[in-house]
Structure 1
Amino acid sequence: MPMRCLFICVLLLLSSTSFASNRYYSDNQLEPQQGFNWDWSIGAGYYIEDSYLVGLDSYDDGLEPDLNLVITYDKFYLDVDHSQLSGGMVIGYSLIDKYEWGLDIVGTNVQSGFDETGLKVYDRDVVEELKGIDRRHYDFDVGLRMSRRFEDSQISFEMLHDVTGTHNGWIFTGFLTSIEQYRNWEFRAGMGINYYSSDFTDYYFGIAPHEATTERPIYNATSSHSYVLEFHAEYPLTQNWVFLAGWLSTWFSEGIADSPIISQSYQHKAKVGVRYVF
């Protein structure tokens, strides 16, 4: 927890970001380098998304920062990426980087927390359909990531375990991505599958006896999985300014979709924005 808090504080203080660093994509910049290096970009975007939790509006929109930062020191790296919708914060250490193969130790957040006010746990009223549920906390998961880069694509596999004691579960991920250039446009596409252990699924989507109501029965969740499909496009407006757009769709298996606090078995999010590359 202290290490996690330290890096979150670094992020908030610097309010910055890096480009082309998402670990899911073949042009990521997380190869080992000698000494200390860093890179960043900053921007903003407008998003539209629907919620999978009961009682929440199926339509939500707003502005969000596009903050990216990469810091590397020899084989260690900190990557904060919000350009891709599948991005986030990753702490890593490169064990192997040879012949287009990579093996890393990585730490990252997989699941956002929520409570009876919904996914945004600040400045929100209690949602009647969620009233009485316990707060589900953010997790932080650590494990191994193996990747194989090709000319314009990459396949990666991750095996992660929660180290915060939030749910003590396991997550297994496989992701295949491709990047294509057309004139000044860059198009990115990715597809993946995530497997969640029963500990993970039951912590976030199970219903304990003290949370149950006449409208919300007890639910003991088992292992589950989700499918992910992602598209992105970027176009340089000037030497430093870049236009970006993205779409991310996620479909949940019955282990999640059958939960009494889940309203639908899918979630979609789209955004458009600009960022300044230094």
Structure 2
Amino acid sequence: MNKTVSLISLALMSFSTLADDQEQGIQWGIGAAVVSQDQGYTDVGNETMLVPALAIQYGNFSLLGPRGSYKVWQQDNIEFSVVGQLRLDGYEEADGDIFLGMEDRDMSFDFGFEGEFDTEFGEFGFSFMHDVTSTHKGYEASVSYGVPFTLGDGRIMPYVSASYLSEDLVDYYYGVLPTEQRTERNAYTGDATMNLEVGVSSDWFFGRNHMIKADLSYTAYGSEIKDSPLIEQSGSVQLLLGYVYVF
């Protein structure tokens, strides 16, 4: 039950930057990240997990853990990629008392595209991801803006983003079916909503082989998520500390 993909996406871009500085050809690395997060579910609290990752960079193809991308077009400061990734959202009945009597909500594999536009004012991005496994049967569309700063061998980027989550996606992960209704948990049908996120992404490079990543973000939920009987907070906080060794 986690939402590590957004930060893993930032880590993938960081690994690509480090790999681009190496010799041409295939570059690969191994690493892991400690992810601490509180998604706002009722009486569930903060969770900390270790996420191992295999990283590969070969030409226009990049892979890091559950996310892969292929750059299909680039010109000057604009690039466009197709992306496939696991959506790690979901829960099992054993994850907390609030889920007792609920059907499991599974992860999905989402596929779509993303673009990036670098300007002297900062980096603009957009993405569109759709479930191709018919798990939640929905989609998510996002836009983002960040301003990178270089500090020695490090890079820090404060950013903001807005994500539109479709009705099917929200209802699958935050809805409550009539058959799942209990005295303390009313039936609930989720609708499309907009989440807002603010965060800081940082990458620290040590020589030709080492990358450390430290990211912190807060996601403010849209009203359709906050109104869910499964949720007791207005948003979620996530901290990621990761390391990748590039061979």
Q: If the TM-score is normalised by the length of the shorter chain, which range does it land in?
A: 0.7 to 0.9
Q: How many residues align?
A: 237
Instruction: Please state how far the C-alpha of 1:111 moved relative to its aligned partner.
Output: 4.7
Determine the structure 2 residue equivalent to 1:90. 68
Correspondences of 1:33-52 after superposition (within 5 Å): 37-52=25-40
Q: Report the Cα distance in structure 1 between the residues aligned to 2:228 and 2:11, rounded to whole angstroms.
A: 36
What TM-score do you get using the length of structure 1 for normalisation? 0.73
Q: Report the Cα distance in structure 2 between the residues aligned to 1:108 and 1:62, rounded to whole angstroms.
A: 19
Identity, in percent, stands at 23
Pairing partner for 2:170 from 177, 201, 226: 201
1:105–1:19 CA distance, 2 compared to 1 (3 A):
closer
Instruction: Please state how far the C-alpha of 1:19 moved relative to its aligned partner.
Output: 9.6
Question: Is residue 2:108 matched to residue 1:117?
Answer: no
Question: Is residue 2:83 matched to residue 1:106?
Answer: yes
Q: Report the Cα distance in structure 2 between the residues aligned to 1:256 and 1:216, rounded to whole angstroms.
A: 15
1:254–1:18 CA distance, 2 compared to 1 (3 A):
closer
Q: Report the Cα distance in structure 2 between the residues aligned to 1:54 and 1:97, rounded to whole angstroms.
A: 45
Instruction: Please state how far the C-alpha of 1:243 moved relative to its aligned partner.
Output: 4.1
1:143–1:183 CA distance, 2 compared to 1 (3 A):
closer
Question: Is residue 2:188 matched to residue 1:211?
Answer: no
Q: Report the Cα distance in structure 2 between the residues aligned to 1:262 and 1:144, rounded to whole angstroms.
A: 30
1:42–1:264 CA distance, 2 compared to 1 (3 A):
same
1:196–1:151 CA distance, 2 compared to 1 (3 A):
same
Determine the structure 1 residue equivalent to 2:46. 59
Instruction: Please state how far the C-alpha of 1:110 moved relative to its aligned partner.
Output: 3.6
Q: Report the Cα distance in structure 1 between the residues aligned to 2:35 and 2:81, rounded to whole angstroms.
A: 32
Q: Report the Cα distance in structure 1 between the residues aligned to 2:157 and 2:198, rounded to whole angstroms.
A: 11
What TM-score do you get using the length of structure 2 for normalisation? 0.81
Question: For the Cα contact (< 8 Å) 2:29–2:56, is it kept in 1?
Answer: no
1:272–1:224 CA distance, 2 compared to 1 (3 A):
same
Question: For the Cα contact (< 8 Å) 2:92–2:103, is it kept in 1?
Answer: yes
Structure 2: stretches of 5+ with no match in the other structure? 1-7
Q: Report the Cα distance in structure 2 between the residues aligned to 1:257 and 1:242, rounded to whole angstroms.
A: 36
Q: Report the Cα distance in structure 2 between the residues aligned to 1:39 and 1:131, rounded to whole angstroms.
A: 45
Question: Is residue 2:103 matched to residue 1:134?
Answer: yes
Structure number with greater CO (CA < 8 Å, separation at least 6) is 2
Determine the structure 2 residue equivalent to 1:7. none
Structure 1: stretches of 5+ with no match in the other structure? 1-16, 31-35, 82-87, 119-126
Q: Report the Cα distance in structure 2 between the residues aligned to 1:237 and 1:62, rounded to whole angstroms.
A: 25
